[in-house]
Amino acid sequence: MPAVNNVLVVGGGLAGTATAILLADSGVTVDLVELKPDAAALGSGITLQGNALRVLRQVGVWPQVSQLGYAFDTLGLRAPDPAGTLLAELPDHRTGGADLPATVGMYRPDLARVIHDRARQVGVRVLLATSVEKLTSDDSGVDVVLTGGVSSRYDLVVGADGLRSHTRQLIGIDLQTQPTGMGIWRAFTPRPAQITRTDLYYGGPSFIAGYCPTGPDSLYAYIVEKAQDRSALTAQQRLDTMRELAAAYHGPFDAIRDSLTDPATVNYTWFEAHLLDRSWHRGRVVLIGDAAHACPPTLAQGAAMALEDAAVLAELLLAADAVDDGLWEAFMDRRHDRAGQVVSASVQLGQWLLEGHRGADVPGLMGRIAALVSTPA
Ligand SMILES: Cc1cc2nc3c(=O)[nH]c(=O)nc-3n(C[C@H](O)[C@H](O)[C@H](O)COP(=O)(O)OP(=O)(O)OC[C@H]3O[C@@H](n4cnc5c(N)ncnc54)[C@H](O)[C@@H]3O)c2cc1C
């Protein structure tokens, strides 16, 4: 008998949907509420590292991810010079195991559609354009009021509603999310045929420029700068700004810059980070994914950490026969330090760039995190 029979998941991102699938697939009744009316409506690309792929395979969507995404096993380093000179081609760690690629790039809306289809297939009741208004947790369950006033009782509520988690507020946790000092321009564009993996350009007028193929015909490109208030720019000005910044990057970036013509494909976001102290639960409400820990995408590990939370939480709930302190201790023992190390390494990498720290051991830090996440969570 699992520790729970019926669960409410708040948030239909990767953390929430993966948790819902893993529980429902083992017979738990799961409702999933997602604020957006269409979970797959918006987004750019995402870099999925091997340890994220390992959980996506467990969730049952690896065939679709491998078919729709773009897999690769090396990382290129290029100079911000007029030729975009290739400096190094590094084999990437296969952190999900030898039978999965090191990395898959994917269009976020495709990934959202695939996991939501899978959730429905295993019997998750998905309620879109819905949220939680009230939560009251006691020893045996949680009374919940959903949007529109519908009341229900659940054995457990999983708050997987992202960086600015509403569930976190409802259970009285005040977590300070900090900007890390960097901002990222991203654009979703056609993939020039010569781009078959991620290349990173360090330096030039911005800190980093790079790209990641997301499918046979698409990629996302990005440029990381010192965080600025870009909120007053119009869509056309955002496009113009990204094109101007991209003018310093050459080689394959020339073709990307030429294809940057649609203002709707460009967005700008600041990097932010936080880590919730253990424990991530209050009564029978638990926070996972970005709601509990968030990192800048300097290691592209945020989604992987969110998926790992889901896998570990579901495994523990299915193996235990009670929701008790032992279960929460075990969850924190497997998740808190691991996610914390990824958050601090991701912040550190950005900090070294902000400080212009030339002697920093970037490969060493990246190697340590790759070794850490290569062991299943
Ligand atoms: C610029 C940028 C680039 C990134 N690139 C990468 C990358 O390449 N690789 C990587 O691994 N990670 C990347 N990340 C991090 C990654 O996107 C997140 O770590 C990951 O999406 C977290 O998943 P999640 O399910 O916890 O949260 P989210 O993906 O934020 O999902 C939360 C869901 O909850 C919903 N929601 C919010 N409020 C409510 C509510 N009140 N009620 C119901 N539902 C609600 C939201 O609509 C959303 O669907 C990046 C982050 C940023 C900012």
Q: Is the pLDDT of residue 42 over 90?
A: no
Give distance in angstroms: CA of 11 to centre of ligand 1: 9
Ligand 1 proximity of 45 Cβ (cutoff 6 Å):
no
Three-state SS annotation for 16-76: HHHHHHHHHCCCCEEEEEECCCCCCCCCCEEEEEHHHHHHHHHHCCHHHHHHHCEEECEEE
**331 confidence band (pLDDT: 50, 70, 90):** very high
List, for residues 2-28, the tens digit of each pLDDT value: 899 999 999 999 999 999 999 999 999
Per the listing, tokens 């081609």 go with 89
Determine the pLDDT at residue 40: 79
Average pLDDT of the segment spanning 228-233: 96
**Superfamily classification of domain 6-57+108-177+272-374:** FAD/NAD(P)-binding domain (3.50.50.60)
Q: Is the pLDDT of residue 180 over 90?
A: yes
Per the listing, tokens 């201790």 go with 329
List, for residues 44-85, the tens digit of each pLDDT value: 899 999 999 999 999 999 999 999 999 999 999 999 999 999
Angle, CA 117 vertex, CA 111 and CA 118 arms, to 5°:
90
For atom 3 of ligand 1, the residue with the nearest CA is 297
List, for residues 149-170, the tens digit of each pLDDT value: 999 999 999 999 999 999 999 9
Ligand 1 proximity of 306 Cβ (cutoff 6 Å):
yes
Ligand 1 proximity of 287 Cβ (cutoff 6 Å):
no
Give distance in angstroms: CA of 126 to centre of ligand 1: 18
Cα 5 to chain centroid, rounded: 28
Determine the pLDDT at residue 1: 76
Average pLDDT of the segment spanning 219-236: 97
User: Cα separation of 244 and 254, whole Å?
Assistant: 12
List, for residues 73-127, the tens digit of each pLDDT value: 999 999 999 999 999 999 999 999 999 999 999 999 999 999 999 999 999 999 9
Give distance in angstroms: CA of 245 to centre of ligand 1: 26
For atom 30 of ligand 1, the residue with the nearest CA is 162
Ligand 1 proximity of 13 Cβ (cutoff 6 Å):
yes
Residues ≥6 apart with Cβ < 8 Å to 324: none
Give distance in angstroms: CA of 313 to centre of ligand 1: 18
**358 confidence band (pLDDT: 50, 70, 90):** confident
Determine the pLDDT at residue 309: 98
Give distance in angstroms: CA of 164 to centre of ligand 1: 10
For atom 42 of ligand 1, the residue with the nearest CA is 131
Structure token pair of residue 33: 């509420």
**pTM (two decimals):** 0.97
Q: What is the overall mean pLDDT for the chain? A: 96
Give distance in angstroms: CA of 12 to centre of ligand 1: 9
- List of E strands, the chain: 6-10, 29-34, 45-49, 70-72, 74-78, 86-91, 103-107, 125-128, 132-137, 142-146, 151-154, 156-159, 178-190, 198-202, 208-215, 218-226, 266-275, 281-282, 285-287, 293-294
For atom 31 of ligand 1, the residue with the nearest CA is 13
Q: Where are the domains of the chain?
A: 6-57+108-177+272-374
Q: Which atom of ligand 1 is nearest to the CA of 271?
A: 53
Per the listing, tokens 């957006």 go with 36
